[in-house]
Every structure is written in C-alpha cells, then in structure tokens.
Amino acid sequence: MPSLSGVLETALYVDDLAGACAFYEHLFGLTTLYSDHRMRAYDIGGRGVLLLFRRGESLDTVQLPGGTIPPHDGSGPVHVAFSIAKEDLGAWERRLRDSKIDIEGRTKWPRGGSSIYFRDPDGHLLELATPGLWQGY
C-alpha cells in the first residue's frame, strides 16, 4: 500500500475573510502564500498550509489552467491544533493574554505534552500543543 507523508493543507471556513486574516496574521505572524477574493493560504512552519475560505465561496468548481478543484465548504466550529515547542508554551499564554484572547481549556497529556485551547473570531477551536500529545510527536 502507498503511504501518506503528512497533512499538507487544513481548511477553515470563515464568515469575514478580512477579519479572520487579520486575526491569524496578528496572532501567529503568518506569511501569505496565496490570496484571492475567496481564500487565503498561509505557511505553517514550512510543514503545512492553513487555508482560510470565505464561507460559501467555494461551492462552484474552480477551473485552473492545470485542471479543476471540486466544490467544498464547511459550517460550524471545527478544531485545529498547531504544534509548538515545549519551551514556548508560556510565551504563547502571554501572547494570548496580551491579545485579549481567553484560554478556554488546558490539558496535560499522559505522554507529557500540554495543550491550551482558545477560539478564533468564527468560533473555531484552536489548540497549541507541545510534543508529547501523540506518540511520535
């Protein structure tokens, strides 16, 4: 069987694309890889891409010179976890506090990792997780 080598893209669907982009760019200092009227793509640590789509703007097939992208969309709050270094957890907690973002939950995992949870402007549950959450991570 062929193997997977990672998750390349994670997509979130947002109501206010400009507001969501401002939130992610300010809080995380993300670098834009691509942007158009319906979406923005951000580099995540050189290992993945976060896609923010304006909700309802990807319901038609997208025609590209190299092929097509089928319709997709999503609703409701979803969950995304970002990996962070163990020694950066305190700095992230301070950054969230300084940005007036409430930490809704904290978890210490059996393998030694720690997670903190908070929301973006669309209500998506974001997690910052240190190594030790999952085996091998």
CATH number of the domain residue 134 falls in? 3.10.180.10
Q: How many domains does the chain have?
A: 2
Distance from C-alpha of 43 to C-alpha of 41, rounded to nearest angstrom? 7
Residue 71 shares a structural domain with residue 90 = no
Residue 17 shares a structural domain with residue 66 = yes
Residue 28 shares a structural domain with residue 68 = yes
Question: Residue 89 phi/psi, 5° resolution?
Answer: -55, -45
pLDDT digits (tens, 9 = 90+) for 32-77: 999 999 999 999 999 999 999 999 999 999 999 999 999 999 999 9
Distance from C-alpha of 117 to C-alpha of 9, rounded to nearest angstrom? 21
Three-state DSSP state, 66: coil
Strand partners, 48: 44
pTM for this prediction: 0.94
* Tokens encoding 135: 């085996």
Question: Are 124 and 79 spatial neighbours (Cβ–Cβ below 8 Å)?
Answer: yes
